[in-house]
């Protein structure tokens, strides 16, 4: 194995599961009783914005519950990022803020952020109000009917993709944590790393992309991630 300098970490819903946030597939394709297309697509928003506003207001409320806290896996990643030996980039598909609250400074949210909202006219991104709807005036243009969640919905382009592709081609160690490997383009990130890159999948079980990885750490992320991070820090 060559020297590890650049580490890329991709996280998914599994890393936040032990903090009390439901994963997508585990909810049986329904999010809090809603079909995914209803609450997570531009068409759903155009059809019935009230349901969409309400859905994200509830999810924001859930994230603010004092019982929802970053776990040992989030904290271990932050500890790794602080170590000057490695250049660590954290890309998450999660829209929660548990990586930040766990101590990570720079988090690439490729699917957006629950705690941000966007103006439909200026496209400016703002810190989200705890709750808002179509009648809430936008902080930048003061118009109503102008705010939407800063979330990547089905059919929309994830954020930071070009940057991610450039980074993956220079990665020495790729860690994929708690993601089902079902949603592209994140699922193909592992295949975009160089042949020399060490690739490790952290999950409770195998995934459709497991065969791309050299190693598998099976088990809850709060156990496997801190153990591996400590190994890296001891190198
Ligand atoms: P999924 O719900 O598809 O998958 C969660 C993965 O985490 C599964 O493979 C579980 O086996 C694993 N898992 C669950 N608990 C775990 C634990 N404690 N430790 C380790 N692994 C665990 O979530 P994602 O892969 O994140 O997109 O889903 C990807 C995208 O699909 C989401 O970002 C979302 C959704 O459509 C958008 O919203 C655009």
CA of 180 to the centre of ligand 1 (A): 5
Predicted confidence (pLDDT) at residue 34 exceeds the cutoff of 70: yes
Averaged pLDDT for residues 206-218: 96
Q: Which residues on adjacent β-strands are paired with residue 89?
A: 8
Residue nearest to atom 18 of ligand 1 (CA): 220
Question: pLDDT confidence of 2, banded at 50, 70, 90?
Answer: low
Q: Using CA atoms, how far apart are residues 153 and 44, in angstroms rounded to an integer?
A: 10
CA of 210 to the centre of ligand 1 (A): 14
Question: pLDDT confidence of 218, banded at 50, 70, 90?
Answer: very high
Say what the pLDDT of residue 1 is: 52
CA of 203 to the centre of ligand 1 (A): 9
* Helix segments in the chain, DSSP class H: 13-17, 36-39, 42-47, 49-63, 72-82, 98-101, 161-168, 221-234
Q: Among the options 74, 99, 111, 212, which is catalytic?
A: 111
Residue nearest to atom 14 of ligand 1 (CA): 14
Q: Using CA atoms, how far apart are residues 84 and 80, in angstroms rounded to an integer?
A: 9
- Indicate if ligand 1 lies below 6 Å from the C-beta of 182: yes
Q: Which of 15, 16, 24, 176 to probe ligand 1 with, by most ligand atoms within 8 A of CB?
A: 24
CA of 149 to the centre of ligand 1 (A): 20
- Closest ligand 1 atom, residue 26 Cα: 2
Question: pLDDT confidence of 192, banded at 50, 70, 90?
Answer: very high
- Indicate if ligand 1 lies below 6 Å from the C-beta of 71: no
Q: Which domains does the chain have, with CATH numbers?
A: 1-21+70-111+158-235 (3.40.50.1220), 22-67+115-151 (3.30.1600.10)
Say what the pLDDT of residue 29 is: 54
Predicted confidence (pLDDT) at residue 230 exceeds the cutoff of 80: yes
Say what the pLDDT of residue 30 is: 58
CA of 97 to the centre of ligand 1 (A): 15
Tens-place pLDDT, residues 83-112 = 999 999 999 999 999 999 999 999 999 999
Question: pLDDT confidence of 3, banded at 50, 70, 90?
Answer: confident
Average pLDDT over all residues of the chain: 94
- Closest ligand 1 atom, residue 25 Cα: 2
Q: Using CA atoms, how far apart are residues 162 and 42, in angstroms rounded to an integer?
A: 23
Residues 6+ apart with CB under 8 A from 110: 91, 92, 93, 152, 158, 159, 160, 161, 164, 186
- Is residue 150 flagged as an active site residue? no
Residue labelled with tokens 């450039």: 166
């Amino acid at each position: 194995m060559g020297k590890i300098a650049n580490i890329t970490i991709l996280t998914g819903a599994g890393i936040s599961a032990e903090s009390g946030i439901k994963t997508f597939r585990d909810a049986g394709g329904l999010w809090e009783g809603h079909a995914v297309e209803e609450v997570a697509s531009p068409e759903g928003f155009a059809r019935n914005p009230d349901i969409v506003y309400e859905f994200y207001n509830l999810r924001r409320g859930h994230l603010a519950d004092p019982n929802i806290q970053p776990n040992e896996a989030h904290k271990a990643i932050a500890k790794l990022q602080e170590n000057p030996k490695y250049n660590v980039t954290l890309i998450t598909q999660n829209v929660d803020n548990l990586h930040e609250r766990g101590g990570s400074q720079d988090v690439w949210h490729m699917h957006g952020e629950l705690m941000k909202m966007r103006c439909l006219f200026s496209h400016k991104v703002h810190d989200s109000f705890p709750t808002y709807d179509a009648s809430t005036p936008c902080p930048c243009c003061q118009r109503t009917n102008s705010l939407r969640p800063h979330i990547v919905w089905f059919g929309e382009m994830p954020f930071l993709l070009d940057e991610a592709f450039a980074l993956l081609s220079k990665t020495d160690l790729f860690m994929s944590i708690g993601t089902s490997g079902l949603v592209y383009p994140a699922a193909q990130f592992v295949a975009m790393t160089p042949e020399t890159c060490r690739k490790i999948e952290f999950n409770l079980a195998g995934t459709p992309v497991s065969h791309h990885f050299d190693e598998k750490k099976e088990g809850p992320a709060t156990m496997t991630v801190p153990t591996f991070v400590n190994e890296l820090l001891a190198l």
